[in-house]
Amino acid sequence: GAGVSQSPRYKVAKRGQDVALRCDPISGHVSLFWYQQALGQGPEFLTYFQNEAQLDKSGLPSDRFFAERPEGSVSTLKIQRTQQEDSAVYLCASSLLSVGQGLYGYTFGSGTRLTVV
């Protein structure tokens, strides 16, 4: 597609429920990033994929968070046993290159707003 697509746009989950958030990056983009943006804050890095390889997951806040990109295109961020502090906008971004992404920056999706009640 022309841009990064995320679904669903909005998700309300009951505390303790598992959720799965999907990201469709721009076709051919090698790098894929997930960020978490709490209300009134800047995006916080969660994890990074280069093709199907998860090269950095240092930002995942707990072992309840899991991300995958099995075929090097679509990615899914899964949150198990959701808690209220997980409420945030989850942003996905992709980049054409595997190195020097800074030269181009990223292209961001519109995000998924997760509300845990």
Partner 1 sequence: AQSVTQLGSHVSVSEGALVLLRCNYSSSVPPYLFWYVQYPNQGLQLLLKYTSAATLVKGINGFEAEFKKSETSFHLTKPSAHMSDAAEYFCAVSDQDSSASKIIFGSGTRLSIRP
Write out the residues near partner 1 by the rule CB under 8 A. Answer: 4, 31, 33, 35, 40-45, 48, 50, 55-56, 91, 93, 98-103, 105-106, 108-111, 113
| Residue closest to 75 by CA, chosen among 90, 58, 97, 59 | 90
Closest approach, Cβ 68 to partner 1, in A, equals 18
Span between the terminal Cα atoms of the chain, in Å = 33
Closest approach, Cβ 42 to partner 1, in A, equals 4
- Residues 90 and 112: beta-carbon distance below 8 Å: yes
Closest approach, Cβ 48 to partner 1, in A, equals 6
Tokens of 50: 């280069």
Q: Which is nearer to partner 1, 45 or 66 (CB)?
A: 45
